[in-house]
Amino acid sequence: MRILVAGGDGFCGWPTALYLSSRGHEVAIADNLMRREWDRELGTEPLKEISSLEDRLARWKEVSGREIKDYRGDLCDADFVFEMMDDFKPEAFVHFAEQRSAPYSMIDRAHAVFTQQNNVVGNLNVMYAIQEVVPECHLIKLGTMGEYGTPNIDIEEGWIEIEHKGRKDRMLYPKMPGSFYHLSKVHDSANLEFGCRIWGMRVTDLNQGVVYNVETDETASDPVLANRYDYDGVFGTALNRFIAQAANGNQITVYGTGGQTRGFIDIRDTVRCIEIAAENPAERGDFRVFNQFTEQWSVLELAQLVVKVATEMGLEPKMVNLPNPRVEKESHYYKAANTRLIDLGLKPHLLTEETVESLLSAAIENRDRIHPETFDPQVNWRSARYR
């Protein structure tokens, strides 16, 4: 298939582009490399050095013999999106290209506005370009489990049957997200469902949980192909961050009591989920939603797992409960459905002590690149700064 991976220079997009290419698909990447700028803005860098996109693509061609086309531009630039769509004519469009950090979106007014504009406008441009140029194209859109929040009832996959005053209907599952970033995904989902309803678009919205681990077979096959590993307080996510903290002898930062429970997924399963979605396209007019995570963990359980494995490796990890910089429930019910990808053939890599150990070893190896001043949470949900 011809598959366009938007956000293909990023943490999930790069391994996905390589995996799909290795499986024989004709792959192109779209990216404006903005993520590399945000590292400079925040005074951090990935734990392992990552090569330029040009070098990455040239090396992939050398090691695999396969070419990945490179469209350099911003999805918010309507002409860029239209021309790319017209040139590549994708059969599947995998959309990772958004600002994805909750703390970044909560820095101040400007970052909240930027996040929602970047995400919502980029997605609308993609929807219109598909509709005009390649209406049969299947849009595989990355959403997030955080769209649902932490309701006191079971979370379904996108839709729920509701009975109200004696009448029943199938409705979009109610959403109560926890940041302006997570809200941008809710807005995207509402726009996509509308696109399916009015134009008959084919859409799969993948509500992905927190992604951990870093490398896949393809990214690990050559140092120039290495994936980015974020550990800082803005873009770093729970498990990968805790591992970098333990490796560098810094405190493992559990926010509040750590009772916050979330869905998690190994990056090796992320790439496979995208392949499964692409190979089993949504029907026209079907706003299809899959919850893309493989297991639930509380933040405290993850921190304790890292402490255990790090101690066995001879480190002296320390865990701290910081006052929570976010506004979120720390003790709550959480039970989310995640059977649809498994029914289509996903065989999950569950989180093991071996995975934690291999991540710890990688972090220890690259310890000299860590900027420990970026570990502490720098953004407070309660501050509402105008500038």
Q: SS3 for 204?
A: strand
Closest residue to ligand NAD, based on beta-carbon distance: 10
Q: Is 181 a catalytic residue?
A: yes
Which of residues 72 and 332 has its CB atom nearest to ligand USQ in the complex?
332
Give the total of residues touching ligand USQ (CB under 6 A): 22
The residues binding ligand NAD (CB under 6 A) are 7, 9-13, 31-35, 74-76, 96-100, 118, 122, 142, 144, 208, 210-211, 237
Task: Say which entry of ligand NAD, ligand USQ, none residue 10 contacts (CB below 5 to 8 A, set by partner kind).
Answer: ligand NAD
Residue 319 C-alpha from the chain's centroid: 26
Element (H, E) at 35: helix 34-42
Residue type, 325: P
Which residue stretch of 18-26, 35-43, 48-56, 253-261 sits at the interface with ligand USQ (rule: CB under 6 A)? Answer: 253-261
Binding residues for ligand USQ restricted to 81-110, rule: CB under 6 A: 100-102
168 is catalytic: no
Q: What count of other Cβ atoms lies within 10 Å of the Cβ of residue 9?
A: 26
Q: Which of 144, 219, 261, 374 is catalytic?
A: 144
Name the binder of 326 from ligand USQ, ligand NAD, none, CB < 5-8 A by kind.
ligand USQ
CB of 285 to ligand NAD, least distance (A): 24
Closest-CA residue to 239 (of 226, 218, 258, 216): 258
Q: Measured from the CB atom, is 33 or 171 closer to ligand NAD?
A: 33
Nearest CB to ligand USQ, comparing residues 21 and 338: 338
Task: Provide DSSP, 261-308.
Answer: EEEEEEHHHHHHHHHHHHHSPPPTT-EEEEEE-SEEEEHHHHHHHHHH
| Distance, CA of 49 to CA of 278 (rounded, Å) | 31
Residues 6+ apart with CB under 8 A from 55: 224
**CB-hemisphere CA count at 13 Å for 22?**
17
Q: How far is the CB of 162 from ligand NAD (least distance, A)?
A: 26
H/E element holding 56?
A: helix 53-64
Radius of gyration of the chain (CA): 20
- Binding of residue 210 to ligand USQ (CB under 6 A): yes
Nearest CB to ligand NAD, comparing residues 113 and 171:
113
Collapse the DSSP code of 317 into the 3-class scheme (helix H, G, I; strand E, B; otherwise coil) and give the result.
Answer: coil
CB 16 within 8 A of CB 215: no
Which amino acid appears at position 109 of this protein?
Answer: R
| Residues numbered 276-335 forming contacts with ligand USQ, rule: CB under 6 A | 299, 326, 328
CA angle, corner 105, sides to 186 and 127, nearest 5? Answer: 40
Choosing among ligand USQ, ligand NAD, none, which partner's interface includes residue 32 (Cβ < 5 to 8 Å by kind)? ligand NAD
Q: Provide, rounded to whole angstroms, the least separation between the CB of residue 297 and ligand USQ.
A: 10
Question: Among 149, 195, 263, 281, which residue interacts with ligand USQ (rule: CB under 6 A)?
Answer: 263
Give yes or no: 144 in active site.
yes
Where does this chain bind ligand USQ (CB under 6 A)? 100-102, 144-146, 182, 209-210, 237-238, 241, 253-255, 258, 260, 262-263, 299, 326, 328
Active site residues: 144, 181, 185
